[in-house]
Amino acid sequence: MSFRLSAEDIKIGILTVYKLNSVVITPISGKYSIYSSGEKIIDVKINTSIHLTILDNCIIVSTDEKNYGAYNSIDFVSSGFLNYFTINSTKYAKKEFSFDDDLNITVVNNCFKFINIVDLEHYIAGVVEAEGGRKASSEYYKVQAIICRTYAICHLNKHKSEGYEMCDLVHCQVYNGKCRNTDILMAASETSGMVIVDERSKPINATYHSNCGGQTINSIDVWSINRSYLKPIVDKYCTSQPNARWERHCLKKAWLAYLGDKFNYPINDSGACNAALNFKQWTRKTYFLNDKDIPLSKIRNDWLFKSSYFSIYTKGDSVVFKGRGYGHGVGLCQEGAMKMAEEGIKFRDIIKTYYHNVKIVNYEEIK
């Protein structure tokens, strides 16, 4: 019997960027056997190094003592308690990768293709840990676990053609393998199976960002996508957090030239120039100077500003952009959520603060 936090396994394409063709895999805990096409090749003792190399598109399996032959595909199958293994490669000698549960290996273009068949909650904990950031409270980790799980169950088809459900990169969700943080593991376990759904019981697109600057923003104003649960709120929890404020400077003429070139803004009109140099957002706006042709999100992208929530002041020949927040501002504000959690607010209330009219349900209920 293997020990599982939940009944569900998920297939993740791992180490997708490394292009490895020679590795050592070592079971560290639990019980492992190697199979090929359903036939057992070897029971592997814990801490035994299994060497894998590629020859003629086949995987050569050996230990220090013995060669076990060549296979098209092999599986590390776990059957113990708390099963995990490491993967080492001479190509990246300084890195050691650790993964929970099972592993399927094939060869594609003369490199290994690794698929980690992992308990959903082990995966969620790995994703929350990879999300990183500063150390947070366990209540915040529960929020992040539910968000990552909600995302995961909506994107199980992203890599169907490659034989797995999600990759380990930003394209899906960053996953660096086994989670070492016990607070995060507990948070995944205690929220096991929970996902966020909207009024029609559909899993939500649980978008989040680092800091909203004091007000979140409507999804329609950033992505032209209307979602009943992604509506703005006033957030008093994030305004003294690390990413609450930013500042940038540039020459007045560079700013005006940008507006003229990009948006045909009338920079030869002194009144219009004056307005463009003295723009204030006390509450969050969508458009620059209320001009529908100049979305603030567009300016943010062009200038790589931390947010679209900024005011403009002048100082000599320069303009000063004074901004609030970090990120697109839609959905959950991470630094606000962290502060709420620190103040003792429970994960359900934090989630319902940032996403409107949502429910938290077990995904079994909505399958």
* Residue 366 · residue 201 · CB < 8 Å: yes
List the interface residues with Zn ion, window 46-65 (CB under 5 A): none
Query: Residue 281 and residue 323: Cα distance in Å, rounded?
Result: 9
Q: Does 171 bind Zn ion (CB under 5 A)?
A: yes
Instruction: Please identify, using beta-carbon distances, which residue of 115 and 333 lies nearer to Zn ion.
Output: 333
Residue from 333, 338, 340, 341 in contact with Zn ion (CB under 5 A) = 333
Q: Does 74 bind Zn ion (CB under 5 A)?
A: no
* Residue 276 · residue 265 · CB < 8 Å: yes
* Residue 295 · residue 302 · CB < 8 Å: no
Could you tell me which residues come within 8 angstroms of residue 66 by beta carbon, excluding any fewer than 6 positions away? none
Report the half-sphere exposure of 215 (CA within 13 A, side-chain side).
13
Residue from 125, 146, 212, 273 in contact with Zn ion (CB under 5 A) = 212
Piece of the chain touching Zn ion by CB under 5 A; list 26-34, 96-104, 162-170, 250-258? 162-170
Piece of the chain touching Zn ion by CB under 5 A; list 93-101, 176-184, 206-214, 286-294? 206-214
* Residue 84 · residue 28 · CB < 8 Å: yes
How many residues of this chain bind Zn ion (CB under 5 A)?
8
Q: Does 15 bind Zn ion (CB under 5 A)?
A: no
List the interface residues with Zn ion, window 233-252 (CB under 5 A): 235, 238
* Residue 256 · residue 272 · CB < 8 Å: no
Q: Does 358 bind Zn ion (CB under 5 A)?
A: no
Q: Does 146 bind Zn ion (CB under 5 A)?
A: no
Q: Does 105 bind Zn ion (CB under 5 A)?
A: no
Q: Does 338 bind Zn ion (CB under 5 A)?
A: no
Chain length of the chain: 367
Q: Does 172 bind Zn ion (CB under 5 A)?
A: yes
Could you tell me which residues come within 8 angstroms of residue 125 by beta carbon, excluding any fewer than 6 positions away? 145, 179, 181, 184, 185, 187, 188
Q: Does 323 bind Zn ion (CB under 5 A)?
A: no
* Footprint of Zn ion (CB under 5 A): 167, 171-172, 212, 235, 238, 333, 336
